[in-house]
Amino acid sequence: MSPAGEQPIAPYLDAVVAHGFRGSGRFHVPGHKGGPGADPGLRHALGDGALAIDLPQDMRGIDTGPSPTPYERAELLAAEAYGAERTWFLTNGATQGNHALALALAPLGARVVVQRNAHASLVDGLVLSGGLPRFVAPAYDDELGMAHGVTPDALRHALDSGGGRDRARAVFLVSPTYYGMVADVAGCAEVAHAAGVALVVDQAWGPHFGFHPDLPAGALQEGADAVITSTHKIVGSLTQSAMLHVGNGVGPPRIDADRVARAMRLLRTTSPSSLLLASLDAARRQLAVHGEALLHETLAAGRRLRAKLATVEGLQLVGPEQVGRPGVAGWDPLRVVLDVRATGRSGYEVADALRHGYDVQVELATHATVVLVLGITQPEADLVRLGGDVDETVKRLSAPGEREAVVRPVAALRHEVAVSPRDAFLGEAEVVAVDEAVGRISCESIAGYPPGIPALLPGERVTTELIVYLRALTAAGARLHGASDPEFRTVNVLR
């Protein structure tokens, strides 16, 4: 069935609403029975409506019954909106998409090329699948300590550096980055396809790409074969909901959708949340039907915010001027990145002051930057207020020349992969003091959070340089994500 012309419909949302309020006898899960069994505090918080449409899987007329079911139609509509051959709704975030694609494209012992600062969930996917990563370094800005995208040349080199049994089967890249920098996806697709391999782009931060002429194109349109979009991050679906798209790009199909479907069946709970799924259906509708108009307003408000912030002494806006530098082919205007080094304060300090002084919560702070994320609809009044709050905070806090805030960027660290992520994660581990771990093989993945980019992966050797970096990061206020000891006094290494 072609869903053409049906974008204003949200079939899954409509089906759960039609079912949820009709007074059916509920002799099935969940135990709250559409509300009465729920704690009164929860009922008050969520409202009776949310509980009434919290339905289980396999309800006739929603996700079973004559095909296409409302659930199938909802995924078809999402595929149409994103220009995909097939789309899967994800109820465990973009994380689930990375796990599924690792299982589908990087089976036991298969080599894949992976961007070194890929999200931790991709490496976790390789732990599940047993695939072997060959890492390709992103370009990075030494001065700002900011990793960008992988360049086509770097990708070509990584693909060329293994032959025979070591030949890569797929490429996994990230675009945009946490800072909104977009890689040359078209160039990378050309390189990957010339080598006969599929290109996967983790576009978790770009679910809105392609839905307004002033935004970068979606990676599928640039030639990627599979793309993950974290719908909840920007587009307004509920937290934890995301999508995985497989393309029907140029040339022969490079991804077997049946293998992806098989991986999805393995990873999917048998009780996916109907609230999350309905929110994906609704977010797709809003994006496809009204996205351009909504984004138009938000982009205009964002431009006014930038103009205000550009007048604040000590702040430098990071964005369009990066385009054209290595690893940066485009830029997401929904990301507001402030370089705060000239204030003499770190991004952590500025973010703390914004939180304490104005209850302004930012997405990410690093030594050099503060990163703010705008959503598909960001009320102008909020942005006007934000401009004033940042202005006053920086004026109050600035101590120019006091010190330069620099921590060596994670992308600049040298990494040695000694064994596969799977062998290291599942191997016999022992806990040792961090200083005694130098030269040993890590069994864990440790990422400074934010930005969540792993500094150490299972299978990599622990180095003195890495320990110095992670200690500097924790001292500066970052949390260590994934570390068995969040204080970083001990670490799990292979026995």
Ligand X SMILES: Cc1ncc(COP(=O)(O)O)c(C=O)c1O
Stretch that binds ligand X, among 88-96, 340-348, 354-362, 468-476 (CB under 6 A): 88-96
| Kind plus residue range of the DSSP H or E element containing 381 | helix 380-397
- What minimum distance in Å lies between the beta carbon of 203 and ligand X? 8
Binding mask 225-254 for ligand X (x = CB under 6 A): -----x-----------x------------
Cβ nearer to ligand X, comparing 121 with 274? 121
Tracing tokens 């999350």 back to the chain, one arrives at 276
41 DSSP assignment: H
Tokens representing residue 285 in the block? 């509708």
Cβ nearer to ligand X, comparing 95 with 151? 95
Q: How many residues bind ligand X (CB under 6 A)?
A: 12
Number of H helices and number of E strands within the chain?
15, 20
- What minimum distance in Å lies between the beta carbon of 138 and ligand X? 12
With H, G, I as helix, E, B as strand and everything else as coil, classify residue 131: coil
Cβ nearer to ligand X, comparing 56 with 452? 452
Taking CB under 6 A as the criterion, the residue among 74, 94, 383, 455 binding ligand X is 94
Please state the separation of Cα 467 from the chain's center in Å. 26
Strands 369-373 vs 335-339: parallel, antiparallel or unpaired: antiparallel
Neighbours of 384 (CB within 10 A): 14
Residues near 356 by Cβ (< 8 Å), separated by ≥ 6?
none
* CA pair distance 406, 145, nearest whole angstrom: 7
Window 166-195: residues binding ligand X (CB under 6 A): 174, 178
- What minimum distance in Å lies between the beta carbon of 185 and ligand X? 14
Tracing tokens 């400074």 back to the chain, one arrives at 448
Taking CB under 6 A as the criterion, the residue among 7, 121, 279, 298 binding ligand X is 121
Enumerate the β-bridge partners of residue 385.
none
Cβ nearer to ligand X, comparing 264 with 353? 264
With H, G, I as helix, E, B as strand and everything else as coil, classify residue 160: helix
Q: Does 119 bind ligand X (CB under 6 A)?
A: yes
Cβ nearer to ligand X, comparing 98 with 420? 98
Nearest Cα neighbor of 263 from 291, 293, 226 is 226
* CA pair distance 264, 234, nearest whole angstrom: 24
Cβ nearer to ligand X, comparing 205 with 353? 205
Stretch that binds ligand X, among 36-44, 87-95, 311-319, 360-368 (CB under 6 A): 87-95
How close are the terminal C-alpha atoms of the chain, in Å?
56
Taking CB under 6 A as the criterion, the residue among 146, 168, 204, 309 binding ligand X is 204
Binding mask 452-491 for ligand X (x = CB under 6 A): x---------------------------------------
Stretch that binds ligand X, among 2-10, 93-101, 250-258, 390-398 (CB under 6 A): 93-101
Nearest Cα neighbor of 144 from 310, 426, 340 is 340
- What minimum distance in Å lies between the beta carbon of 230 and ligand X? 4
- Residues that bind ligand X in the complex, under the rule CB under 6 A: 93-95, 119, 121, 174, 178, 202, 204, 230, 242, 452
